[in-house]
Amino acid sequence: MNMLSRWAEGHCDQYELDLVGKPDAYISAMIKLCDQNLRYAYPNPLIEFLFYDHPSGKKRIERALTYKRRQHS
């Protein structure tokens, strides 16, 4: 179930980036979210696979950076 949830959340993240088109604001929000919730931005991949129901902060930020690079291409 966690894997399915992470997949759906990844699509939601992409939708948000496509809709708003402001990857810097998204990155800032993800950093604040990790800080506020004391969530590990870079969890061990096994821990993320077993216990995380959302993509890690690292993966969410990487998605936004990829989106930003595509915007400027």
Instruction: Express each pLDDT in 7-49 by its tens digit.
Output: 999 999 999 999 999 999 999 999 998 888 777 788 899 998 9
Q: In this predicted structure, what is the pLDDT of residue 18? A: 95
* Distance set, CA 72 to CA 18, 39, 59, 61 (Å): 14, 30, 20, 17
21: left (phi over 0), alpha (psi -120 to 50) or beta: left
Buried b (16+ CB within 10 A) or exposed e, 26-38: bbeebeeebeeee
**Whole-model pTM?**
0.83
